[in-house]
């Protein structure tokens, strides 16, 4: 398994100062920046699009991890790749041909991710492992930050860890939603290796301490 990475979610940042927020969180030790793209249709909230991703791209060198909560997603994959996304993840429910969408992301030279909603079974990703770089387990229903972690998703994380390990493939296992210093150890123990955290980083006064706090369980276990 990889060393765990922390990916702060910009959704919880101060939107009036996005550029500075990106710089600050990168300086504070974030491994990736998680960018939540919401269309008010696939999820009941609207965030920002590729123009904003592109504007922020020059503010930090860390990988941009773009989580698409839009449907359809296919018409926008190239725009997010051009905007500077390093990883582009989408939900199987966002279109009729998940395999084709993942192929498109790979053909754009970007890493591909599949996002599983709380009710979406692990089987949704079982037959696309060969073109998947990241699997994201939603531990809340997508659309909003600041929700409570769904404990029911821990068994899914463990099941996916077994699936990834037995495939022998280099696939990251990410968790998103309600990740805090209290729930992070549970996610890591279940086998996650990338933690997304919005409120637990941008909602705190000291970003570096918050990020270190999320990593702490990994260090203790090492």
The smaller minimum CB distance to ligand DX5, of residues 42 and 133, is found at 42
Q: Which of 8, 13, 25, 67 binds Zn ion (CB under 5 A)?
A: 67
The entry of ligand DX5, Zn ion, none that residue 117 binds, CB within 5 to 8 Å by partner kind: none
Span near Zn ion by CB under 5 A; candidates 21-29, 60-68, 146-154, 185-193: 60-68
- Sheet with 33-38: list strands edge to edge: 5-8, 194-197, 172-176, 134-138, 111-116, 87-90, 64-69, 33-38
221 CB-near residues (< 8 Å, 6+ apart): 185, 188, 189
Q: Is 80 in contact with 56 (CB distance < 8 Å)?
A: no
Span near Zn ion by CB under 5 A; candidates 63-71, 117-125, 166-174, 210-218: 63-71
Q: Scanning residues 196 to 215, which ones bind ligand DX5 (CB under 6 A)?
A: 196-200
Residues known to be catalytic: 36, 176
Query: How far is 129 from 142, CA to CA, in rounded Å?
Result: 23
Q: Which of 31, 39, 65, 176 binds Zn ion (CB under 5 A)?
A: 176
Residue 91 as a binder of Zn ion (CB under 5 A): the answer is no
Residue 36 as a binder of Zn ion (CB under 5 A): the answer is yes
CB of 89 to Zn ion, least distance (A): 8
Binding residues for Zn ion, per CB under 5 A? 36, 67, 176
């Amino acid at each position: 398994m990889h060393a765990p990475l922390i990916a702060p979610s910009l959704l919880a940042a101060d939107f009036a100062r996005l550029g500075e927020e990106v710089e600050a969180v990168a300086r504070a030790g974030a491994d990736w920046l998680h960018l939540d793209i919401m269309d008010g249709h696939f999820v009941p909230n609207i965030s920002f699009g590729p123009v904003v991703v592109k504007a922020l791209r020059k503010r930090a060198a860390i990988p941009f991890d773009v989580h698409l909560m839009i449907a359809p997603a296919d018409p926008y994959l190239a725009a997010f790749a051009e905007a500077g996304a390093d990883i582009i993840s989408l939900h199987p429910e966002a279109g009729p041909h998940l395999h084709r969408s993942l192929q498109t992301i790979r053909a754009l030279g970007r890493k591909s991710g599949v996002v599983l909603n709380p009710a979406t079974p692990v089987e949704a990703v079982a037959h696309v492992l060969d073109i998947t770089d990241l699997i994201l387990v939603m531990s809340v229903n997508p659309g909003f930050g600041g929700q409570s972690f769904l404990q029911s998703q821990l068994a899914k994380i463990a099941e996916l860890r077994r699936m990834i390990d037995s495939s022998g493939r280099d696939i990251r296992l990410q968790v998103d939603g309600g990740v805090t210093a209290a729930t992070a150890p549970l996610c890591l123990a279940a086998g996650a290796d990338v933690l997304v955290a919005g409120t637990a980083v941008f909602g705190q006064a000291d970003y570096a301490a918050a990020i270190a706090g999320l990593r702490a369980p990994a260090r203790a276990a090492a």
